[in-house]
Amino acid sequence: MTADRAYAQYDIEKKSLVVAYVLWAFLGYVGAHRFYLGRPLSGMFMLMLSSITLILTFVSFGFLGFLWFIVGLWWLIDALLIPGIAAGRNQRIADRVLGYRR
pLDDT tens-digit profile of 78-99? Answer: 999 999 999 999 999 999 998 8
List the one residue out of 15, 16, 28, 14 whose CA is nearest residue 79.
28
Whether the Cβ atoms of residue 68 and residue 49 lie closer than 8 Å to each other: no
Rounded to the nearest 5 percent, the helix, strand and coil shares of the chain are 85, 0, 15
Q: Tell me, what's the pLDDT at 87?
A: 97
Report field, pTM of the whole predicted structure over 0.75:
yes
Q: Which of 75, 100, 91, 94 is nearest to 10 (CA)?
A: 94
Domain ranges in the chain are 3-98
